[in-house]
Each structure stands twice: as C-alpha cells, then as structure tokens.
Structure 1
Amino acid sequence: MKTSPLQPHFGTIVTADPGETVADIDHDTVVSLIKERGTVLFTGFGASREDFDSFTDTISEDYMDYKGGGYVRKSVGGGKGEGKALLSTRYDHGRKTQMTFGLPLHGEMYYIDGRPQALWFYCVKPADADGQTTACDGAEVYNRLGQKWKDLLHEKRLMFLRVYRDGEWQKIYQTEDSAEACKFAEGNGITVEFDEAEKTMRTKYLVSAVLPTKWGGHTAYINNLLTVYMQMQMGRGDTSTVWLEDGSPIPDELMEEVKRVQDELIVDLNWTAGDFAILDNSRALHGRRAFEDTDREVYLRMVRSVPF
C-alpha cells in the first residue's frame, strides 16, 4: 500500500495496492498516523461494513452514542459498539429523508463535556456528485489567526445557549424523563433550567474555542462556533445561539478571518464505496460539501476514548 499526504503537515491517504484488503493494514501504523497527522483516509480497500466494524474494533472499543447531540441521527448498529454506529447525516424532527446542505467545519460535540476523542467514517455509497466529507487542521487554523483573536479566545470562552421545546429535548437526551435529561446535561458541564409548565429546557454551556490537542502538543482552534454563528446570521437563532461568555456578540471580523483561514486549509475526503477514515477530534475540524441525491450513505462511529 502507498501513503501520500493530504497536506504537508496534516492528513494522510493510505491507498491499497491491487489485491490488498483491510486485513493487510498494520495496526501500529494507523495509531502512529492518527497521532501525527490528525486525519487518515483509507481508500481502495473495498471494505465491507463487516470489515469496517472488525478493523475499527482492533483500534478502538469505547464507542458512544449521540445522546446530548445537536440533532437527531439514526443508529445502524454493528461491532463492539452495537447500536452506536450512526448515519453521519441529519434526520431532524421526524424527517424521512436526509438533509443535503453543506456543513461548515466544526469539531464534533464541542457543546458538551462528553465529546468523542476520535471519529471513524465509513462510506457505503458516495453521493452521485459532491457530498465529500471535508477536513481541516485546527492546529494550523490557530497558528494563522491574528494575535488579537488568539488573545480574545484565550481570555473569553464561548457560551452556547439552547432552548429545547417539549418534544425536542426528549429526542436529544433520549428519554421522556425530564429529571433524567437534566441529570445527564448537568453531568456534562451544562447548566440547565427546566420549565415544568411549558416542558421547556434551557441550557448554557461554556467552553474555550482553542484547546490543547490530545497528541502532538498543539493548540487547536476547534469548536462548534461557525455552525451556530451562521445559523444566527441567517435568522435561525431563536433556539440556538452562541456568544462570548460575558454575553457580548462574536465579532464579525473574527469570523471572517476564521472563514478565510479555513478556506485556505480545507481538504476534501473524496469518497468511493468501501473507503473509511479516522479523525482526531481534538485537532481535525470536519464538515461536508452540499449534494443533491438523498442516497448518499456514510456511517460514523464516535470513540469516547482510545487506548493509546
């Protein structure tokens, strides 16, 4: 098999030689690459879903579901994380077909303490056109930000505010019991107010936008800021907003610089059926290009902790 860089200092593509299968991939090489490179795409191995489950189980075992996540994902089960492999696309509030719009770069679940350390993606069927998963080195984003923005983000945390109406918090927290939902949220660093009369849940979460990476000694710009900021810019910030922790708005100039830097660094993971990838969720931002057909099928396994 051959290896090639996605970028000089970030990401690696591992390409199978003719006749090679997932069984030929060396475990220690994968561990070394994810620690050093942040993202590893495996292509040309023609992995089946069973191959993917078996191989990922040799690297990681502590899988997590999407309880407390930002929206609804479908579970597809499988492997040691039975019931904890997810479709990577959204099915909000009873939708029968997946949403196909593009997703801005973000870290996974950076609005809750119990976020995954690593992410596995597996492509069953790519979109007919576009629909690539995108990746970006959050450590290099941080390096390229102006010093005044670094200082601001070290000085003030982000404050995520959310309102879950009756019927919404039950899906997000996977329970009909409001006390159980509040207990889970509070156990993950979230401040909760529950209105018994309206059956409405209000939450507040504080987190730094810039954090140390698990490996490599980097500082990374990695968070869910851009997703929520863009929703607010489009007038959809009635139930999900983000501010600096003192309640002041996120400076537009900061977000313009973030988007400019990310545009310079973003790379596409060009899926073919049977490809898979692992991302370091403490360093690698990820997103998705928009697409049109609704048959795209990409799975996600979220790893709570890794043994290396």
Structure 2
Amino acid sequence: MIAFEEMPLAALHAPLVWRITRGQQAAQATVRDWLAAHRQLYDARLDQYGAVLIRGFAALHAATDFDTVLAAAGADLLDYVGGTSPRRAVCGRVMTATEVPSDYSIPIHQEMSYTANPPERIAFFCVTPAIAGGETTLADMREVTRRIDSGVLQRFRQKGGVQLRRNLPLPEHAALRPGVPKPWTEVFNTTERSAAERAAAMRGWRTQWLDDGSLQLWQDVLPATRVHPRTGDDLWFNQLHIFSPIAALRWARNDGRHALAERIEVALRNTPDRADEVLHGDGTPVSAEDVLHVAEVLDACALPHAWQAGDLLMLDNLLAGHGRRQYSGPRSILAALIGARHSAAPLDAAAARREVSA
C-alpha cells in the first residue's frame, strides 16, 4: 500500500510536494499503477499549484523508470524540433534537461514559449543532484504577471505581441558566438539546408541564409501573454528576457561571466545583424527598458528547489516558470515535453481529500 502527504510550500504556489510516507520500496510496476490511479488528482493539483513534486520512491533511478512513469500519467511526449537549449536524447523522447555549462545560471522561463504550439507540461527527473548548487528555480507565473508593469503589458498588446528572430550558426562557428548558440543543424536535426527550410516552413517560420552559413530565423508572432485553458489565468508567456541582446549581457554579468560579457558587447557593436533579437508584432524592437524590467521581475519571483535523487517534478508550462542555478560537480536531470492531455472530469474537494488519505 502506498500513502503520501501533501506539503505545499508556504511562500509559493509551486510546487506542491507529494511525500511518500508508506510504500517507498514499492516496485516500479506498483509505482506506475499507483500514479495511473491518482492521475485525476494529480491533474487537478497541477491546475491549482502549477507544479507537483513526487518524492520518496526508491525504485526510480534511470531514464527508463522516468519514461515508464510518464506513460502511466498519460503523457504524450513531444520532440524538441525548433528548441533553443542544447539537449541530448537519452531514452525515446526523454532527454537531458539542458547541457548549458554549469557556470551559467538559467533564467526563469516557460518551455518553447516562442512557438505557436508549446508543450502543455514539462516533467523533470533527478538521477544525480549536483554536489553544490544546481537547484531548479521555480516561479508562479500568476505572481510574475501581477508584478509586470501595466504599461509594459499594454505596449505588447497594442503592438501585436512578440516575435523572436534567431541567428543559428554552423556547428563550426557556434563556439565563436556569444552565449550558448545552437547550430541550425541541431535545431532542425539535419545537415541539409533544404530539410531545415522545409521544417521551418511547416511551422510557418521565415528563413534567410547569411553569407557566413548561418540561418536567420523569424519565428511566430505571438501574444506576450496566453490564457490558461482551464484556470482562465492570463499569463506572461514569452522569452524576450533571454533572447534580447541586452538581457544576454545582463545575464552574463550577473553570473560573473565577464569575458563573455565583453564578447557580447563587441558583437553588438560590430555584427548586430548576427545577434538574436526580440521584436514587437509590428516589427519594432522591444525597448531595453522593457526587457530589463521583465528580467528583474522574473529574477525577483524565482525560488530555488533543491533536488534529491529519484525526485519527479511535473510543471504546468503556463502556470509555472523554471530555471537553474549555477553548480559544481556532476549533475544529471532528465526532462520530457508533454503535449495537451486528455480532459479529465473535475475532482471535487471531498474526493481530493479521500484520495490523499487512501
């Protein structure tokens, strides 16, 4: 018999912790069946809190365990075509959370929010926590949206939303670019220009090849906020604070990556057309003031989550933002992107209480 207790963090809506109090040694098949039986409650809690952490199962160790548990939760796993973070496939569509170097923090963001069809959820699994640092930061995007200046929100609504223009280099040039640029061969999983063009066209993205072999990519023009399909919350949902060059410069300085900060400054002076850029929907650049304001709000709302081996964390990709702190030593966190779930019948409060005590 498996039992658990719910432990919400007082300072943040996310995550709600399900701490296993009985049945910690349950076999993987038992864990899978238990999660499938509790899927309705799990879904309801994600809509409420934005994130649920399951902690305490000894049988969860590796990518295959993670994949099995996700299947029990009814997860429809997605690929990462068009994504920006360096990742590596591990098992099916289970991948590394990110391979951004450990001396980088990662700002709070929502996964693939620069695309028209982002994942509804993202799941993480801890194989090995870092020796020092490496916490995943979480932010309640309802609180983030409340804190963003109303004038900033209004500008995005009046100017038609937001669009990301990316410059994707050749693999041999990636190390020469500031930041952690992802080659177009990796973004589209091909070495053929024509195949990359077709993949972009299928998603409605405009492309242009530059004389250094890099691919200029204009992604979807999207609203700066999106309405959650079940809660009705209108939430900040974009990554202008990551892709704007001024934000990249701020990020490097805050991390203490001073050599990179100098490279970004030189690149912005000498080759600004090779930098990523964030535009309003009407094609005008987003102001540095607005970018930095948003970045500061997100930083202020970020709270750390320290990992334990075997932790399973599920995030609603609209309600909860995530990031990462710098770290030292080995660290292995896996991730999976999850598409729209099948609708479940609402779970009333009394039923929820019965589920927890079962």
TM-score range (shorter-chain normalised) is 0.7 to 0.9
- Taking the aligned partners of 1:264 and 1:4, their CA distance within structure 2 comes to 23
Residue deviations 1:209-266 (CA, integer Å, cap 9, x gap): 2111233100111211111132255426643222323444433433443344334432
How far has the Cα of 1:10 moved from its partner?
4.0
**Does the alignment pair 1:117 with 2:126?**
no
Q: Tell me how far apart the structure 2 counterparts of residues 9 and 170 of structure 1 sit (CA, whole Å).
A: 39
| TM, length-normalised to structure 1 | 0.87
1:58 aligns with 2:72: yes
For the residue of structure 2 that corresponds to 1:62, the secondary structure is coil
Give the drift of 1:18.
Answer: 4.2
Structure 1 segment 241-252 matched on structure 2, within 5 A? 241-252=277-288
Aligned counterpart for 1:304 among listed residues 319, 339, 346: 339
Q: Secondary structure at the match of 2:90?
A: coil
In the other structure, the counterpart of 2:248 is 231
Structure 1 residue 85 displacement after superposition: 0.7
Structure 1 residue 12 and structure 2 residue 16: aligned? Answer: yes
Tell me how far 1:155 sits from its aligned partner.
2.1
Which residue is 2:356 aligned to? none
> Which residue is 1:219 aligned to?
234
Q: 1:289 aligns with which of 320, 325, 329?
A: 325
Separation in 2, partners of 1:213, 1:225:
20
Instruction: Give the structure 2 partner of residue 95 of structure 1.
Output: none
Residue 125 of structure 1: CA displacement? 0.3
- The question of whether the paired residues in 2 share the 8 Å contact of 1:62 and 1:304 is answered with yes
Q: What is the CA–CA distance in structure 2 between the aligned matches of 1:145 and 1:200, rounded to whole Å?
A: 35
Alignment of 1:34-53 (within 5 A): 34-46=46-58, 47-49=60-62, 50-53=64-67
**Aligned partner of 2:43: which letter?**
V
Which residue among 194, 209, 214 is the counterpart of 1:179?
A: 194
Give the match's secondary structure for 1:69.
coil
Aligned to 1:274: 310
Aligned residues of 2:14 and 2:49 also touching (Cα < 8 A)? yes
Give SS of 2:112's match.
coil
More off after superposition, 266-275 vs 45-54: 45-54
Q: Are 2:154 and 1:148 aligned? A: no
Structure 1 gap segments, 5+ residues each: 92-97
Find the counterpart in structure 1 of residue 207 from structure 2.
Answer: 192
Query: How much identity, in percent, do the aligned residues show?
Result: 24
Q: Which amino acid aligns with 2:5?
A: K
Residue 208 in structure 1 maps to residue 234 in structure 2: no
Conserved in 1, the CA contact under 8 Å of 2:13 and 2:50?
A: no
Give the Cα separation in 1 of the matches to 2:230 and 2:142.
11
Partner residue of 2:298? 262
Match of 1:94 in 2: none
Amino acid in the other structure paired with 2:164: F
Query: TM-score under structure 2 normalisation?
Result: 0.75
